[in-house]
Amino acid sequence: MKKKERANIIIEILSEIYPKISVPLYHKNNFELLVAVLLSAQCTDTRVNQVTPSLFKIANSPFKMQKIPQKKIYEIIKPCGLGPQKSKS
């Protein structure tokens, strides 16, 4: 059996066991989900969901985010922990 066949079987089995999995992180688009996932490292989803509305209010796209000073991002995401590194990312 080839890797692709095995992968398809595994996907089929997992789809039966977990038919619909909701994402606990609040987001409106793929960029917001990506940022929320990055912030969730060493942090609870609840805390991320408390922090991200403020961040996404000022920047909900990569184009807007790159214009925000790192220091301002750090101030917003600091409660998530590992703020200096996450704000750089």
pLDDT in tens, 14-73: 999 988 878 899 999 999 999 999 999 999 999 999 999 999 999 999 999 999 999 999
- So what's the pLDDT on residue 19? 87
Q: How far apart are CA 80 and CA 52, in angstroms?
A: 10
CB-count exposure of residue 47 (10 Å: 0-12, 13-18, 19+) = middle
Within 13 Å and on the Cβ side, how many CA atoms surround 5? 2
Per-residue pLDDT for 88 more than 90?
no
- So what's the pLDDT on residue 11? 93
Q: How far apart are CA 55 and CA 51, in angstroms?
A: 7
- So what's the pLDDT on residue 33? 94
- So what's the pLDDT on residue 75? 94
Q: How far apart are CA 77 and CA 56, in angstroms?
A: 11
